Amino acid sequence: MLDFTLTFLGLVLVVGIDAVYLNLNKGMYEPIMDPNDKLNLVYGVLSWLSIVIAIQLLVLSRPDLTNSNVFINGVFLGFAMYAVYNFTNAATYPSKWSNTIIIGDTAWGMLLTGGVALGMYKIKDLMKY
């Protein structure tokens, strides 16, 4: 079951962390972006919200939660989500999607999702009181 307070706090966490990463690594993504395009914030928020909901339903719903298995399960969830995204883009945009982007973005997604899962687990624990 989704906890809407935890969903909101998880969304704040994932947006904040991802915004810093994307700002620091924009050079990796600039070659594939059209300079005339603007970020569609609605789709961005929906993407981040999907991550947070998946963490709640697939990681935090487990009965055997510990710091380490929450992080590890978050990492594997991040791998699945980001690998599908990157390999699909590499298949459909082969001239634009490089191995550097595939590896870098998938690794980032693993770290981001594992870290946010752990953060949400800690928040969930604090919310019990």
**What is d(CA 69, CA 23) in angstroms, rounded to the nearest whole number?**
29
In the structure, what pLDDT confidence band is assigned to residue 71 with cuts at 50, 70 and 90?
very high
Q: What is the DSSP secondary-structure string of 49-113? A: HHHHHHIIIIITT-SS--HHHHHHHHHHHHHHHHHHHHHHHHHH-TTT--HHHHHHHHHHHHHHH
Cα-Cα-Cα-Cα dihedral of 43, 49, 53, 59, to 10°? Answer: 110
In the structure, what pLDDT confidence band is assigned to residue 76 with cuts at 50, 70 and 90?
very high
pLDDT score for 129: 57
pLDDT score for 34: 86
Span 4-51, pLDDT tens digits: 999 999 999 999 999 999 999 988 888 888 889 888 999 999 999 999
Pair 70, 118: CB distance under 8 Å: yes
Task: Give the CA count within 13 Å in the CB-facing half-sphere of 90.
Answer: 14
Query: How many residues are present in the chain?
Result: 129
Q: What does the DSSP 8-state code read for residue 32?
A: G
Query: How many domains does the structure of the chain reveal?
Result: 1
Domain span holding position 33: 4-126
Does the pLDDT value for residue 80 go beyond 70? yes
